[in-house]
Structure 1
Amino acid sequence: MHPNPAYRGGDRALQETLIDQIGMGMVFMQTPDGPRVAHTPLLSTGDGAVQFHLARGNALSRYLAGENALIVVNGPDAYVSARWYEDRNTVPTWNFVALELEGPIRKMAAEGTLAMLETLSQRHEGRVEGGRPWTMDELTDERKRRLMSGIAGFEMEVRAWRDTVKLSQDDSASDRTRVAKGLEANGSVAVAELMRTLVPDQ
């Protein structure tokens, strides 16, 4: 994560929100076959653990259980043009929000994996506009059996939460206002909104 302590929020509520709202992360681990990464939906249990599932054929699936791994959640990001600063004797930069989670991994039982999938689908179906929400009850027993036989569920006991919230905190309030307006005008609405809500005096 970024070494500047000004960008480390340490706000657990924000960290949980990133996991919930972004919903997708990358799991990294050094394996006997070399470094590997897997992209997967994430579910925070709310008590210090994060659950996810992978295809059994994924390059990480056979190595994760009992090992330490790293999960990265990438939030909104955007290029910041130096033209938006009052003093142009500066350089462009990048504003972003990201979260690293580190800890040991255990393999979940089939019942826990199914419960995780049901919770994930219920949560995200609730955010889809229009129509009747889909549920796993619509799967036939055979389709569900084949689904479950092809995946493995895992849970990380998160022992390190490291976030980076780099939103021009080290700039003046007037420069932050100009940057937020510039980002918004160029389509980076999410980063501009985070600058206004997460950075004081915006």
Structure 2
Amino acid sequence: MHPNPLFRSDDRALLEALIDEISFGMVFASTPDGPRVAHTPLLSTGDGAVQFHLSRGNALTRWLGGETALIVVNGPDAYVSPRWYGDRATVPTWDYVTLELEGRVRRMETEGTDAFLYALIDKHEGRLSAASGGEQWSANETPPDMWRKLLSAIVGFEMEVLAWRPTLKLSQKKSAEEREAIAAGHEAAGSPALAQLMRTLLA
């Protein structure tokens, strides 16, 4: 988390929306073999927990149950050029959105992991169907023997989030006029999501 409190937020709905929109993150933890990280889809339960799964062969899997871990969800980010400032006699910086989640992790039973996978698939298949049309794919289309085999190859986890640490660094130190110029610069440079966040969150 950035040390400047200007870049923080206590808006829990916003943080939940960030997890929901990105739905992917990195899980960090210390293990007897040293620090390790895994990349995984995420699903918020909406009541203060986040679920994910790892391959049984992942370096983190056997150590995570009952341990404290850190999940990082990265939102949009982009370089900020001094050419967008009123005074160019300065230095570049970076605008970005990220969320750190710290909490205790428990292993889920097979039934819980199964339910998590169904919920995850329904969520993303629903998004695809809404965005591009076509019939939504269902997990029930996977032959039962294949599903059981694949399910046995992963482990589901749930983190009880004890600390939410967001960083929303969106050029807040600049004037409203300069922020709009920066947002326009981000948009033109191919970062429209960051520009939109600047315009909506800082309006």
TM-score between the two structures when normalised by the length of structure 2: 0.97
Name the structure 2 match of 1:190.
193
Aligned amino acid, residue 112 of structure 1: G
Question: Of residues 147, 151, 166 in structure 1, which corresponds to 2:150?
Answer: 147
Deviations 1:126-163 (A, max 9, x none): 11122211111101110011011100000000000000
Q: Distance in 2 between matches of 1:11 and 1:78?
A: 23
More divergent stretch after superposition (8-17 vs 60-69): 8-17
Partner of 1:111: 111
Which residue does 1:40 correspond to in 2? 40
CA distance in 2, matches of 1:91, 1:173: 19
Secondary structure at 1:153's aligned position in 2? strand
| Aligned-residue identity in percent | 65
Q: Which runs of 5+ in 2 are unaligned?
A: none
**Counting helix residues as a fraction of each chain, which structure ranks higher?**
2
What is the distance in 2 between the residues matched to 1:74 and 1:105? 20
**SS, match of residue 89 in structure 1:** coil
Aligned equivalent of 1:4: 4
Which 4+ stretches in 1 moved above 4 angstroms? none
Q: Does 1:94 align with 2:94?
A: yes
More deviation in 125-134 or 115-124?
125-134
Q: Secondary structure at the match of 1:119?
A: helix
Whole-Å Cα distance in 2 between the matches of residues 81 and 111 of structure 1?
A: 50
Provide the aligned length of Structure 1 versus Structure 2.
200
Cα displacement string for residues 28-84 of structure 1 (whole angstroms, at most 9, x for unaligned residues): 001000110000000000000000000000000000001000000000001010110
TM-score (norm 1): 0.98
Shift of 1:90: 1.6
Distance 1:114 1:195 in 2: 38
Output aligned runs, 1:1-202, within 5 Å: 1-128=1-128, 129-200=132-203
Over residues 179-202 of structure 1, what are the superposed CA-to-partner deviations in whole Å (9 max), with x where a residue is unaligned?
0111111111110111000113xx
Q: CA separation in 1, counterparts of 2:19 and 2:124?
A: 13
SS at match of 1:6: helix
Distance 1:153 1:88 in 2: 50
